[in-house]
Structure 1
């Protein structure tokens, strides 16, 4: 059997189990919810393990140079975003008055995450538009 078919079958089975558990949680008591949460943690662990296994398998069998270049570009975007974020462009006093304990470091991390999100969103939208335009022009 093809690995792709096995993954599809496992994903479909997990989706059905997830739907059943969600319905049980919505209609069940707290004791049942605790037991379902343990099952959910086990399923989540299984899914994460499968993802890690197949990602590592893809790295070994695929084009590792292209993968490393993509990871490097992603890390470059993260580091540049962190460098651009100041952490001092927001008045932290209202947050600290509410007892949230926001520091400049936390503000800098949030700003870096926002900058990285914006850059990655623009890249994703641009690549979708580029692919669509290229597909239309090649017809």
Structure 2
């Protein structure tokens, strides 16, 4: 398996090198450069490699997760905690704060539910940042008090 992966990577590297030399010059207009076949094929290779990396990462992560019951229990706590943060953030967000009217005056069509979803996403971000900062501070304080 290891030799097959090496051979595939060498072949993809060679294809990438060949395509690199077929890319358009910097003097080519953007509209024409975007339609270049070499560039499109390089994007296809990139997406293919990304999909393979994501697939293998998920497979091995799930394999390791289900092989240890303790790690599965911790992961379930983290997933439930994240779900609670998302639910709390959605409950705290408000779509009727005048944003819809402000966007309509700028010719941007939006709805209250869209504004509420954006607010929920921002709330999730801020709550997770606060949790991260508190966790780092707690770890630092705990480490300093043990010495």
TM-score bin, normalised by smaller chain: 0.7 to 0.9
1:72-91 correspondence runs (5 A): 72-91=80-99
Instruction: Report the alpha carbon displacement of residue 91 of structure 1 after superposing the two structures with TM.
Output: 2.6
Aligned residue number for residue 46 of structure 2: 40
Q: How many aligned positions are there?
A: 121
1:49/1:95 Cα in 2 relative to 1: closer, same or farther (>3 Å)? Answer: same
Q: TM-score scaled to structure 1, two decimals?
A: 0.74
Q: Mark the structure with the bigger radius of gyration.
A: 2
- Which is worse superposed, 58-67 or 112-121? 58-67
Tell me the equivalent position of 1:100. 108
Q: Deviations over 1:45-96 (max 9, x none)?
A: 0111022112211220232111111100100110111111121113323423
The TM-score normalised by the length of structure 2 is: 0.71
Q: Deviations for 1:7-58, whole angstroms, at most 9, x for unmatched residues?
A: xxx9xx8xxx7xx89xx5xx93232221110011101101110221122112
Unaligned runs of 5+ in 1: 1-5
Over aligned residue pairs, what C-alpha RMSD do you find? 2.7
Which residue of structure 1 aligns with residue 127 of structure 2?
Answer: 119
Alignment of 1:122-137 (within 5 A): 122-137=130-145
Residue 28 of structure 1: aligned partner: 23
1:102-132: CA deviations, max 9, x gaps?
1111100000011111111000111111112
**Structure 2 regions of 5+ residues with no counterpart?**
25-32
